[in-house]
């Protein structure tokens, strides 16, 4: 029987959300049917911030009403009438209905209001016991010294003994870095049946965002794009002085609070943001139910990309300042940066293998997108690789780089003019202070790389001067970094064409021994499964032998990412029913594949519907072990493959990761010019895993 998990904050301000997200991330990589449950919710369930965060991030399809046991209002009525057991039964019934639909369920304990904290621990312990869950209690480390934390933990252990809870692990969240060593030594000396994990304080998680301010104060957004709402508010400043003195007090991340009629402060804030002599503020909050003068509003609306959020509230300046100081930081599914920081901090603090060992697990054989992405990130982090990104000044690349750094997925190098890239990073409000940046035009490596390129290409009449000029191109420079092992892999294509990305790889890195052709695959992340499509990006008219090689390479790529390959060699005809040059080519490719790789499960020629639909397969190929179950699809030509993947992607909302190149000596991967930040993160992680396998092979 699968053991479900119950996470409970046992003190006010313990920071439960970050731990919940980390466990959801872990469990989503192990099951395709993951449920989330809260025993109690306050008011409208759809307004429960934790449920909303989990549903949005993990795309849960469970109805909201199935994800909680009872409202706090109903719970108070039952408790007031001495019906505590009835409350537990109501929660248990709803939980069991959800459990029957899921392979695993993660529960997030509820708390009453501040006046009822004394019963919170008892209540959550009783619920965890009655639901048959392993308990993960969370203690508060924020604002406490080491001795205070030790005393709190000792008191809590005694409380749990009274309830005889089955504890999976204990988290102490928000521990000051200077206390980590002392507390680690103390808990290691304790004779405990469960591990205690110390999660350090993360400043980024303690600071509210502009979005938090907007939601808490019900502010009206006057200007600013969605990305601006995700900026952290590091300080609050009430601007009541003249502009010169106001500018003297500006600090990085300030939220400026000023009456809406202070046009001078508004204009000074806009100008300061674009000046390298002043720090970047996080936003402008206008008080007093006064919007800027018409001319000022017109000026702001004419800015193509507002540098920060301008918002307004009805309260006066003093009241607004008081209200702002009471806004607490929350985790929002739209704020990928803050989520990455939370996951990075918690994941770094826990021993995942030990945690897994204590869980009784039931695994699904189907690989879902969430499972795929979880395993991808986990494997990339296991042995961190160095990935070079030639498009260093592109906004999507920079946003993806921040997430990758926060999660510890890879070591990154950006290529381009350092001053330009640093300025772009600052203007976007990103945390990439430590990232490595190389300017190919000025790098001392350029001469060394030109020497190497000249030796590789002199038989093609390339002179040294031509080689030196060529290495000014970031794609060639990045490829040479990989070739000479100054980097483990490269990802490009967000603003460059596929040819611009892969031509240097063909010239410099070249194909693996025994590989006749470089090809590509897309990982197609459908709602409930991950498929592999090849080749949809590189080879216009592959021969029969090349199709056989593409099938073999695609099977190896699928296996590398834990997808057991069942290969469909696609054509417009299934089995022996059709004739013609195109279908005969596929038929010959199937013959060659079975001759050269008899270990592969492979079928063809086969139409797409017979390959993926079990009902159609029973009619067309009833005895096939692949038909209806295929997960690797080999297209007969580039025209068919490219159009098919784009049709599936655009009409079904499928996430297409790739193209992932296969057959090169070292990993270089291309991005679609329409790629999202998530696409870039996934492609870098794939490249890192490929690089890991290369190092193992060597």
pLDDT by residue (tens digit) across 573-629? 888 877 888 899 999 999 999 999 999 999 989 999 999 988 888 888 888 889 988
Strand 220-223 to 309-312 pairing: antiparallel
Assign 64 a pLDDT band (cuts: 50, 70, 90). confident
Report pLDDT for 202: 81
Adjacent-strand bridge partners of 670: 492
Question: Model-level pTM?
Answer: 0.73
Average pLDDT, the chain: 87
pLDDT 10s digits, 473-531: 999 999 999 999 999 999 998 898 888 888 999 899 988 887 778 899 999 988 778 89
Strand segments (E) across 439-565: 489-492, 519-525, 530-534
For residue 114, the model assigns a pLDDT of: 47
CB atoms within 10 A of CB 454: 18
Q: What is the pLDDT of residues 672-684, one digit of tens each?
A: 888 889 889 999 9
What's residue 363's pLDDT?
37
| Structural domains of the chain, ranges and CATH numbers in brackets | 5-203+339-357 (3.40.50.300), 210-325 (3.40.1390.20), 380-492 (3.40.50.10950), 511-663 (3.40.50.10750)
| Cα–Cα distance, 667 to 502 (Å, whole number) | 11
Give the number of other Cβ atoms within 10 Å of residue 132's Cβ: 15
Single out the residue of 620, 609, 688 nearest to residue 644, CA to CA: 609
In the three-class reduction of DSSP (H, G, I as helix; E, B as strand; rest coil), residue 665 is classed as coil
Rounded Cα distance between 565 and 551, Å, is: 10
pLDDT digit string, tens, across residues 173-183? 888 888 989 98
* Per-residue pLDDT tens digits for 344-356: 888 888 887 877 7
Cα–Cα distance measured from residue 473 to residue 457, given in angstroms and rounded to the nearest whole number:
16
Sign of torsion over alpha carbons 363, 366, 368, 371: positive
Whether residue 698 has pLDDT greater than 60:
no
Residues 6+ positions from 362 with CB-CB distance below 8 Å? 2, 31, 103, 104
For 25, counting Cβ atoms within 10 Å of its Cβ (0-12 exposed, 13-18 middle, 19+ buried), the class is buried
Q: Which residue has the tokens 């809590």?
A: 156
How distant, in Å, are the alpha carbons of 237, 268, 307 from that of 251?
9, 14, 16
Residue 135 has pLDDT above 90, yes or no: no
Q: Parallel, antiparallel, or unpaired: how do β-strands 5-9 and 134-140 relate? A: parallel
Residue 45 neighbours by CB under 8 Å, 6+ apart: 51, 64, 65, 67, 68, 71
Q: E strand or H helix at 494, and its extent? A: none
What are the tens digits of pLDDT across the range 311-328?
A: 999 999 999 999 998 888
Residue 274 CA to residue 425 CA, distance in Å, equals 13
């Amino acid at each position: 029987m699968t053991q479900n998990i119950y996470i409970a904050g046992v003190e006010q301000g313990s920071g439960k959300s970050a731990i919940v997200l980390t466990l959801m991330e872990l469990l989503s990589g192990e099951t395709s049917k993951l449920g989330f449950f809260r025993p109690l919710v306050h008011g409208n369930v759809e307004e429960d911030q934790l449920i909303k965060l989990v549903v949005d991030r993990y795309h849960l399809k469970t109805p909201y009403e199935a994800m909680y046991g009872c409202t706090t209002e109903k719970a108070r009525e039952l408790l007031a009438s001495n019906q505590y057991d009835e409350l537990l039964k109501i929660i248990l019934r709803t939980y069991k209905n959800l459990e029957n639909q899921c392979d695993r369920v993660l529960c997030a304990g509820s708390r009453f209001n501040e006046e009822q904290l004394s019963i919170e621990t008892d209540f959550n312990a009783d619920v965890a016991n009655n639901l048959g869950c392993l308990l993960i209690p969370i203690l508060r480390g924020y604002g406490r010294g080491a001795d205070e934390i030790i005393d709190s933990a000792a008191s809590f252990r005694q409380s749990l003994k009274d309830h005889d809870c089955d504890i999976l692990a204990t988290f102490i969240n928000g521990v000051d870095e200077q206390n980590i060593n002392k507390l680690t030594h103390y808990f290691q000396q304790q004779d405990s049946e469960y591990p205690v994990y110390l999660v350090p304080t993360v400043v980024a998680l303690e600071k509210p965002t502009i979005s938090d301010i907007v939601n808490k104060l019900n502010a009206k957004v006057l200007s600013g794009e969605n990305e601006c709402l995700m900026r952290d508010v590091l300080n609050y400043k009430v601007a009541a002085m003249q502009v010169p003195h106001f500018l003297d007090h500006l600090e990085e991340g300030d939220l400026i609070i000023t009456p809406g009629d202070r046009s001078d402060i508004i204009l000074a804030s806009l100008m300061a943001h674009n000046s390298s002599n002043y720090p970047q503020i996080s936003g402008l909050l206008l008080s007093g139910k006064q919007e800027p003068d018409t001319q000022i509003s017109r000026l702001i609306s004419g800015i193509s990309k507002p540098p920060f959020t301008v918002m307004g509230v009805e309260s006066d300046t003093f009241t607004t300042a008081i209200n702002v100081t009471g806004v607490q930081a929350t985790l929002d599914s739209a704020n990928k940066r803050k989520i990455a920081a939370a996951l990075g901090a918690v994941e770094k603090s826990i021993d995942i293998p030990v945690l897994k060992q204590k869980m009784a697990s039931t695994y699904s054989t189907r690989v879902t997108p969430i499972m795929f992405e979880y395993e991808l990130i986990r494997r990339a982090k296991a042995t961190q690789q160095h990935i070079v990104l030639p498009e260093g000044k592109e906004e999507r690349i920079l946003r993806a780089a921040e997430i990758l750094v926060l999660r510890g997925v890879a070591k990154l190098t950006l290529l381009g003019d350092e001053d330009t890239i640093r300025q772009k990073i600052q203007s976007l409000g990103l945390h990439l202070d430590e990232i490595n940046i190389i300017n190919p035009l000025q790098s001392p490596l350029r001469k060394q790389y030109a020497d190497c390129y000249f030796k590789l290409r002199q038989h093609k009449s390339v002179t040294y001067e031509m080689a030196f000029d060529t290495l000014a191109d970031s794609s060639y420079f990045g490829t040479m970094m990989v070739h000479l092992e100054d980097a483990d892999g490269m990802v490009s294509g967000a603003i460059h064409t596929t040819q611009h990305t892969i031509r240097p790889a063909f010239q410099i890195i070249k194909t693996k021994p025994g590989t006749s052709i470089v090809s590509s695959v897309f990982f197609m992340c459908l709602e409930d499964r991950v498929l592999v499509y090849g080749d949809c990006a590189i080879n216009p008219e592959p021969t029969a032998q090349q199709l056989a090689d593409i099938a073999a390479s695609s099977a190896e790529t699928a296996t590398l990412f834990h997808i057991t390959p069942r290969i469909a060699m696609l054509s417009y005809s299934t089995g022996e029913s059709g004739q013609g040059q195109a279908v005969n080519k596929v038929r010959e490719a199937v013959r060659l594949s079975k001759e050269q790789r008899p270990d592969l499960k492979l079928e063809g020629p086969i139409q797409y519907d017979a390959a993926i639909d079990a009902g159609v397969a029973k009619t067309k190929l009833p005895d096939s072990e692949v038909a209806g179950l295929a997960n690797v699809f080999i297209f007969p030509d580039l025209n068919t493959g490219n159009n098919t993947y784009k049709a599936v992607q655009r009409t079904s909302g499928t996430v297409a990761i790739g193209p992932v190149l296969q057959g090169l000596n070292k990993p270089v991967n291309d991005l679609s010019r329409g790629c999202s930040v998530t696409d870039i993160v996934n492609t870098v992680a794939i490249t890192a895993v490929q690089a890991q396998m290369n190092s193992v092979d060597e």
